[in-house]
Structure 1
């Protein structure tokens, strides 16, 4: 079972927008190797990033890189396996996932030692940096004999260095990061044995297209065939240089039996890939396992042993592990224990009641997974069905954990989960079809379970036939794609047809290919590959052709056979789609979306002319939303018709456990106007996969319109007639959206001249409905680093930090556990840096932090390099609170609203709880006004009640202590109140 983001179709939001739940080589030439003079020609001649002392830099560079090739051996990886069109196999979900297999489990790998020794020889050495991010000076402090450190920057294709014998202002290397490969020069005549802590801080190493010098943070004695398999089909070759001998493994060549074809933890290796890859190295480290509730010590040991078995199985079979640092494993005894543990350990916790409502949706399942956590019920280990101690069979808990682990792996391979400290990505937000549907995700997870059964003695052909039998006569696969019901049988049969041998890596390659990748000369632009495009690239079929092939092979027809259906109990919102005969056979997405910020949505794909049934929450208020697909268009039901304005939409509330029935009239797709954006780099390359969005000004309820540039760099946005709004491009995950144009109600698309004067991004209107945008090749390559510290000097973790520049330039990040942050800046300019500590906003003010925006000190980021800022809170800053209760006009709680406090001392905000209670952490003493943004306007707390006039806002004095007991009553109809 998996959870999918759902606030449109994908993207960030509350708990990463999990508002709806879903149930369960080419060979390379020898002269391309990093030891070849041809391969290093560009490296040697490339410019240094800051044009330091070139004579010193190149002298050191040539000294360390001119090693002759002593010996060559080759390593081969699997060739691509075509899709089989013969018999496919399926096993039902109950038979595979919930029942104990009764066969031997994969043995756990031996635990790795806590430390390891790196032997440094006089002269050049290649080593990997596996520890946490640290200043480069730390390596010189640890080993004073090290004279120089070099790092190959694969994004900029240049070397960066640091040396204690060179002034620090000339260094081009500032920090060492986990996964970085280092070339260090040891001075003197004696070797040095350097003992290092073995546990890496993370398991993911990003690779850019071409050669990368990276650390191996995985297990020691790792065979190269597993190492290669973990990188997938984009791998071209791997090389390392032990004891001045070059060993080069090239895809497609005969494998050598040389004993040196194994990697040791902490080594550095050269890796050559065709495209950007998220290399998830098998570290052997278990993720954080949280036992929620009380279980015996024996059961807890059993749980941890089973998780070890799961991790080892994925490594030994596929050369992969999910990055332990990016997800948590919860083992709850009951839902209350899960909520308590979630409140204590998760960074994405909400109000406990909201968490309980959210988890109750999935509690009927034995386990589920999302982008950053997985849950497996403790009862799978504590029940009588658990095998006896020492029995040669896997437990039910291990089977479910293995299945949910597959979903975590899918999320990480496709870039849906974030690295620690990585900001939320708004690139691609709101777009449909970015990620594979549930039949493919569940089918792959079950296919992996069959691979384990095959390893444990079952015949692959027998498993194939058994699995196929479950799917014969079932529904067409295209119907399965649209349904919120999960058809495990069809998904597994399709997975077997796509990967008809246990060694076929096509399913893994699909998830590597889909989602976020890099593009551009500096690899700075974030792109998206929709799953349908990735499907055709990986398997060589169009999805339509595969569906036809599958349906013929499995004699489809019965749409109910093998379907695991969501049977909803009241409260429900039901209805029918009433459309003309010409629309029958078309599907639209029908959903109920809560008006409260923290509510839970429900949706389904429905054929026009058919009925729908959507699960609702008692006493919750909803709008009914309809999404067309071709072209994409969003509408709300209002007075028997469709509208794009959500503020005008009908509201539905289900009393108790009742049922509300709605008739939805549908005519033609209302989005008839199209605008176009052409995006290219300054070097003339079309930029595909760039997210474009149109947002109406002034209304938070207005839904955005989203698009994605194609292979020619063109995005097409379809909008309602008479729509107006700002047009933005998301050019990078690391830098904020860039405003490039404005759409007028008459359909004319205007380039934003203020942006042209404030940015080196060039925008011009090439026609009435088309904008052409040219992006600098070095966009988002500058950095502001810094630290956020409390008044006592300790780092403030998990706080939002942002930099705002002229012309709308923007970047944001989250502080790490030590309060450090790293802001990637769009381009040189002046920026103000702000930090939010639990909603309390403070700005960098030079030698002290300040509350008001106008007192902030601008930081000039220029061509000279990166900048560093430190924000240390003053005594008493962001310590006092203003608390109260927000109520609707009828006295009911005003939950889920953002409440803002403002004064001459600064501003702060917080979200009201379901019972209306709010608590805002303010910058300091002062007279604070309160406001709420509702239906497109600010409503202020006045002395005589709510008001829209800020000058009539009531002031609440705070001096040295908290202010409590404030009652904020909202007007009866906020939208009308603001008119």
Structure 2
């Protein structure tokens, strides 16, 4: 669920982008500097631009020893009056650039590392890229996702002014020693186009420790399972819906005792499953109780990641949206991405009961906790059927820039093609002629079969749960 609380809470504990698995059972350390140190040597240096778009003149002003900047397609920017035939207008996020440094001693460049991990769409052929993923990663791990499309990759050793290469069909002894630092420039050759999310690690902490988790049905290697599920959810949100992940801002906390969970909720008993998400310009936070891994933690993680998406895309204006839409879309995405024993259908039998109750969607904000989520899920499913699943993401982007709650109806109409009042009426009328709602056990000659629900939206589909 979304955390309706002061954003100052979000900055209590700081995240650091980690090398290798960032899993801890103690409280994390204080905030780390988000700058990385790059040593520039006289001659040619291949760097990755891992900040937002910036004019090359700003970089030339910051680094007086850099005489010129070059991209991989003939573009250039010069310090001197020399005019480039193809001037570089802006330095692009995630791109690789050559810097030509004048003679003298090496220069240490302390530069920001603000670019979130992104999925890059790359064409076949040679590409100059900037590495936004895990710092110090082995080449074999860095290129694992695109190994079938990758012909070869090269990193430039500025100290020796020589290339170090790597190829998927090379011997392991030759390729594994090659490591790639965050912010490094790379040249890669692709046999075909790819959509590539640079591998990354997340800061995951376990308030309460990992010594006694209290439930025998939890995964045996709990910490590794949590990390695998968290990375899966982040990659799904990136590949399906374009949410950018910033390992330097995001922390995932998994309280492993009741006291630790209550502490995350300021000493109050948590509602529902006890998970929440929060965001500020400095920090993203997801809290999810350890008990979720007794059920379907991936669904819960996807739910909370969607809240992060709401915060980021709306620029903080999500607070003006109806509560049923905030929680309903997150629940819809949790079920859609996280899957379930029902095969991942977004509308579950547990929610169908809310179609039989006289719940006014207009007052769902003041309804009990579960009604906001379940009724909101039914409403979100209707909106997804009407305007497509992508509309449940577009709404939050369209909400950016509004001045208050009064602007929400116009954004709703722009996104979904009808007014809020029209949708409330549509929601009410759709609930009235309910399809059959069946539950119980059916016995055949082979014995009982599992209980069934009949979907409210598709009378031809029977979902076994």
Structure 1 residues 454 and 16, CA, compared in 2 at 3 Å: closer, same or farther? Answer: closer
- Alpha-carbon separation, structure 1, partners of 2:194 and 2:405: 34
Equivalent of 1:309, from 232, 256, 259? 232
Structure 1 residues 482 and 455, CA, compared in 2 at 3 Å: closer, same or farther? Answer: closer
- Alpha-carbon separation, structure 1, partners of 2:240 and 2:265: 38
Partner of 1:773: none
Partner of 2:204, secondary structure, is strand
| Structure of larger gyration radius | 1
Judging by fraction of residues, say which structure has more strand.
1
Residue-by-residue CA offset, 1:860-914 (whole Å, 9 max, x unaligned): xxxxxxxxxxxxxxxxxxxxxxxxxxxxxxxxxxxxxxxxxxxxxxxxxxxxxxx
Structure 1 regions of 5+ residues with no counterpart? 6-11, 19-121, 151-159, 188-198, 206-213, 224-257, 265-281, 340-354, 387-394, 417-427, 518-525, 558-979
- Alpha-carbon separation, structure 2, partners of 1:263 and 1:310: 17
The alpha-carbon deviation at position 527 of structure 1 amounts to: 10
Partner of 1:333: 256
8 Å CA contact retained: 2:300, 2:338:
no
- Alpha-carbon separation, structure 2, partners of 1:220 and 1:415: 33
Equivalent of 1:499, from 362, 384, 394? 384
Partner of 2:3: 3
Q: Counterparts of 1:459-608 in structure 2 under 5 Å?
A: 460=345, 464=347, 466=349, 469-474=352-357, 475-483=359-367, 485-487=369-371, 488-500=373-385, 504-516=389-401, 530-555=407-432
The alpha-carbon deviation at position 402 of structure 1 amounts to: 2.6
The alpha-carbon deviation at position 498 of structure 1 amounts to: 0.3
8 Å CA contact retained: 1:130, 1:180:
yes
Residue-by-residue CA offset, 1:112-163 (whole Å, 9 max, x unaligned): xxxxxxxxxx9xxx99612699972599799x7x73369xxxxxxxxx9963
- Alpha-carbon separation, structure 2, partners of 1:556 and 1:439: 22
The alpha-carbon deviation at position 505 of structure 1 amounts to: 0.3
Partner of 2:276: 368
- Alpha-carbon separation, structure 1, partners of 2:289 and 2:325: 24
Judging by fraction of residues, say which structure has more helix.
2
Residue-by-residue CA offset, 1:403-438 (whole Å, 9 max, x unaligned): 22221222122122xxxxxxxxxxx8xxxx853222
8 Å CA contact retained: 1:407, 1:445:
yes
8 Å CA contact retained: 2:299, 2:339:
no
8 Å CA contact retained: 1:368, 1:376:
yes
Structure 1 residues 322 and 484, CA, compared in 2 at 3 Å: closer, same or farther? Answer: farther
The alpha-carbon deviation at position 468 of structure 1 amounts to: 6.2
Partner of 1:324, secondary structure, is coil
Equivalent of 1:414, from 311, 314, 318? 314
Partner of 1:2, secondary structure, is coil
Partner of 1:538, secondary structure, is helix
Residue-by-residue CA offset, 1:2-51 (whole Å, 9 max, x unaligned): 2124xxxxxx6753799xxxxxxxxxxxxxxxxxxxxxxxxxxxxxxxxx
2:109 pairs with 1:179: no
- Alpha-carbon separation, structure 1, partners of 2:401 and 2:234: 25
2:206 pairs with 1:291: yes
Equivalent of 2:49, from 126, 129, 139? 129
The alpha-carbon deviation at position 336 of structure 1 amounts to: 4.9
Equivalent of 2:297, from 397, 403, 414? 397
Please, what is the CA RMSD of the aligned residues? Answer: 5.2
The alpha-carbon deviation at position 466 of structure 1 amounts to: 3.8
- Alpha-carbon separation, structure 2, partners of 1:404 and 1:491: 15
8 Å CA contact retained: 1:366, 1:400:
no
- Alpha-carbon separation, structure 1, partners of 2:267 and 2:362: 29
The alpha-carbon deviation at position 396 of structure 1 amounts to: 3.4
Partner of 2:378, secondary structure, is helix
Partner of 2:335, secondary structure, is helix
- Alpha-carbon separation, structure 2, partners of 1:363 and 1:472: 23
Partner of 1:379: 291
Residue-by-residue CA offset, 1:434-461 (whole Å, 9 max, x unaligned): 532221122112211332366987385x
TM-score normalized by the length of structure 1: 0.27
2:328 pairs with 1:443: yes
Equivalent of 1:147, from 68, 79, 83? 68
Residue-by-residue CA offset, 1:932-959 (whole Å, 9 max, x unaligned): xxxxxxxxxxxxxxxxxxxxxxxxxxxx
- Alpha-carbon separation, structure 2, partners of 1:298 and 1:502: 41
Residue-by-residue CA offset, 1:261-298 (whole Å, 9 max, x unaligned): 3356xxxxxxxxxxxxxxxxx55434321111221592
The alpha-carbon deviation at position 556 of structure 1 amounts to: 9.9
8 Å CA contact retained: 2:387, 2:416:
no
Quick one: higher RCO (CA 8 Å, sep 6+), 1 or 2? 2
Residue-by-residue CA offset, 1:605-650 (whole Å, 9 max, x unaligned): xxxxxxxxxxxxxxxxxxxxxxxxxxxxxxxxxxxxxxxxxxxxxx
The alpha-carbon deviation at position 481 of structure 1 amounts to: 3.3
Partner of 1:179, secondary structure, is coil
- Alpha-carbon separation, structure 2, partners of 1:216 and 1:531: 39
- Alpha-carbon separation, structure 2, partners of 1:551 and 1:511: 24
8 Å CA contact retained: 1:331, 1:377:
yes
- Alpha-carbon separation, structure 2, partners of 1:529 and 1:17: 30
Residue-by-residue CA offset, 1:734-777 (whole Å, 9 max, x unaligned): xxxxxxxxxxxxxxxxxxxxxxxxxxxxxxxxxxxxxxxxxxxx
- Alpha-carbon separation, structure 2, partners of 1:259 and 1:501: 39
Structure 1 residues 527 and 327, CA, compared in 2 at 3 Å: closer, same or farther? Answer: farther
- Alpha-carbon separation, structure 2, partners of 1:455 and 1:220: 31
- Alpha-carbon separation, structure 2, partners of 1:148 and 1:330: 42
Partner of 1:399, secondary structure, is helix
The alpha-carbon deviation at position 490 of structure 1 amounts to: 1.0
8 Å CA contact retained: 1:515, 1:531:
no
8 Å CA contact retained: 2:320, 2:405:
no
Structure 1 residues 465 and 291, CA, compared in 2 at 3 Å: closer, same or farther? Answer: closer
8 Å CA contact retained: 2:275, 2:289:
yes
Partner of 2:15: none
8 Å CA contact retained: 2:261, 2:274:
no
Partner of 1:88: none
The alpha-carbon deviation at position 507 of structure 1 amounts to: 0.3
Partner of 1:278: none
8 Å CA contact retained: 1:368, 1:404:
yes
8 Å CA contact retained: 1:2, 1:404:
yes
Partner of 1:136, secondary structure, is helix
8 Å CA contact retained: 2:296, 2:340:
no
Structure 1 residues 300 and 500, CA, compared in 2 at 3 Å: closer, same or farther? Answer: same
Q: Counterparts of 1:9-408 in structure 2 under 5 Å?
A: 14-15=8-9, 129-130=49-50, 136=59, 147-148=68-69, 163-165=78-80, 179=93, 201-203=114-116, 217=132, 260-262=192-194, 283-295=198-210, 298-334=221-257, 336-337=259-260, 358-362=266-270, 365-371=273-279, 372-381=284-293, 386=294, 395-408=295-308
